[in-house]
């Protein structure tokens, strides 16, 4: 991932509503949610949500899929992984102990309650 693309993704996530949308979609899984369900769950006006979803899609963090009249949005897990890899790529600077916990979470994932899934 290039710096410009990372900045676009980080900028998209730097708004409370967009961050909430992205986190909701990550939790929803690959099937995603319709725009109406997202608006209802986050108590966001549909026209405002549409702008936020468009920005997240342009940033490569969500993927829209039309099914008839309904558009479902899902998290772009590849885009999320690319952003996370970009952010930690140079963090160790030759000292792996600095980010060993980050690397462990990336390698093994985290549970839905935010705790690491490591045993």
Q: What is the CATH number of the domain that holds 21?
A: 1.10.10.10
CA nearest neighbour of 38 among 113, 54, 79: 54
* Residues 107-118, mean pLDDT to the nearest whole number: 47
Q: What is the mean pLDDT of the chain?
A: 84
- The predicted structure's pLDDT at residue 35: 94
Cβ atoms 56, 42 nearer than 8 A: no
Collapsing DSSP states into helix, strand and coil, what is residue 100? helix
Q: Return d(Cα 6, Cα 10) in angstroms, integer.
A: 6
Considering the domain boundaries, does residue 81 fall inside one?
A: no
Tokens of 54: 């468009």
Domain count, the chain: 2
Considering the domain boundaries, does residue 106 fall inside one?
A: yes
Considering the domain boundaries, does residue 97 fall inside one?
A: yes
- Per-residue pLDDT band for 86 (boundaries 50, 70, 90) equals confident
Considering the domain boundaries, does residue 22 fall inside one?
A: yes
- Does 115 score more than 60 pLDDT? no
Q: At what angle do helices 16-28 and 46-58 cross, to 10 degrees?
A: 80
Residues 116 and 71 in one domain: no
Question: Of residues 103 and 11, which shows the higher confidence score?
Answer: 11
Q: Return d(Cα 44, Cα 100) in angstroms, integer.
A: 38
- Per-residue pLDDT band for 65 (boundaries 50, 70, 90) equals very high
> Could you tell me the pTM of the whole model?
0.78
Per the structure, the complete domain to which residue 70 belongs is given by 3-76
């Amino acid at each position: 991932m290039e710096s410009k693309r990372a900045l676009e993704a980080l900028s998209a996530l730097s708004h409370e509503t967009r961050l909430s949308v992205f986190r909701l979609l990550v939790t929803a899984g690959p099937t995603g949610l319709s725009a109406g369900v997202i608006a209802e769950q986050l108590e966001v006006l549909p026209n405002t949500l549409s702008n936020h979803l468009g920005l997240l899609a342009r940033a490569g963090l969500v993927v829209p899929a039309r099914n008839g009249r309904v558009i479902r949005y899902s998290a772009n897990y590849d885009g999320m992984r690319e952003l996370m890899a970009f952010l930690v790529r140079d963090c160790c600077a030759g000292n792996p102990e600095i980010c060993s916990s980050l690397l462990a979470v990336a390698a093994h994932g985290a549970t839905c309650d935010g705790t690491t899934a490591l045993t």
